[in-house]
Structure 1
């Protein structure tokens, strides 16, 4: 018994360990996915600066909280810009991050000496760390509305606006890009001053989307279409849905067609059907070899015999119940009325839940 218990315990322990390992493996792809998302050098530098500021705040009072106030303030003044505090911050850098942590760690070595210089020589209250580190020293970023290796200013339009106020400068804030306009959704053109395809000019500064059926429009609504999108046709000034399913050859022979707004879908017939007019086994229009077509259903001879046998059993049962009602009627009309209600309810729900009710089977005995 002792050996059996030991073996069971070992197996149970191994099962728990394997489960933990498997669970851990499930989380690794998620972490890899987060850390594998590409960010540019400027964004990487900003992540590092945000982490530094986070730990700067976390160490703002060090270990001197509580106790003698005068002594505490004296210690805090010396601790505030001490190398001890800097080391504490640097040792914790990036550790709080759940996203882009690897990108942050990869920059800590390069930024170590510049951070020490900023810490010891600069005033953090007047000199912004992101500007000093990422823009001026590591040269990974540019000021707002500047781009490229030399941080050139982004070009403005005739109204002195950046991309007409409807876009952003390519490479803005980084040492990359060419300064061209990247227009917001709905706008296009060199300075984002035009409406994009399937948008119309609502007012001087706004472009609104055309109606969903339009392929180009002159205004709002379905009656302003200049042309129709694929799956629609222009009739009476409106784009009406094309019923692709009206063509019998739209789908393959073993599929049925479902018309959708502006489109269509071909769905596979039930495996019992050779061809069909809809989903399920009751919409067959023809059957494969070895099966018989029985009012929309494909059945083989064996299945048909089973259906007929089950139907015959139900008919005999119903006739038996009818005979019992007749006998009870001779005894008590009141009791017979109650039995009739019970039997009627039973027959109703039996036939309703049956895939092939008695009337259906009898009406299709000959085909």
Structure 2
């Protein structure tokens, strides 16, 4: 029995990273509880686990006193000195009280403690592994679902995909493989709990990092993301290397890179625009695919008034205001869109020193997948 236990402790120490001394202390504490529970004892006891010879002994600890009031906890000086003449009042005497059949109980208790510690260690290892992957992307397999969650198998643990984080244009079936974004890893009494998302803007960013080597190696940087999951998204990209086209790098040959992201997101339309520190240029790019004639900036209000050709007004605003809304999220600027004729009536266009946007430049500095691309 001792050899088996010793071997088990060595394996745990090597494979699970659990210290042998920690497990022995836990076993000894559990043996004390087992002794008191099984033998109806209220004594102050300690256990001694000797791995070398396989013995497990129990010792009652009693205080040496002049007059005994509780024989379970105290021993008279006379009785103590019969055991050892050197005992004095105030010392602690240990008397072995190991029951005859305590070995069976001890073995069972040791097994329970080891099993519990292994479970705790495995939970700790899983937590440590996944807590470092927060804000990262993983591939999982749909297991099952209930009204609140879809359960996604990530290999060592099931993650929870809440209903609020599920894309409205997707249906999930058991055994489907999906990419998910890890939003939160919590430590609970039942082990780590992992929450994932399919709607988080970070998922879009990570997908582009996978598909675009220039983003992965840092040549091209994603500066901002605005997303209405399942419908349309915008990302702004930037590079400080003049020889690199950041939008073109994200689009890929014949649109292959962006199309891979679109396919993973089940047809979500994506606009890729070039970031600029100049709000005039950035806002004009962000309103892609519409053309922009002028952008007037109110620095203090962090607001802009944008003039677009009359025939482009509905395109600039987008269905239910989506294009303008996403552009505002992407840039961080309020955007008020005026048609060219309305701006002329208001006397705000054209204006002296107008920052007229070059339409050809806007086209080159943005890319948008239109609905026709999905037909």
Q: Shorter-chain-normalised TM-score: which range?
A: under 0.3
More strand by share: 2
- Higher radius of gyration, 1 or 2: 1
More helix by share: 1
TM-score, structure 1 as length reference: 0.20
TM-score, structure 2 as length reference: 0.19
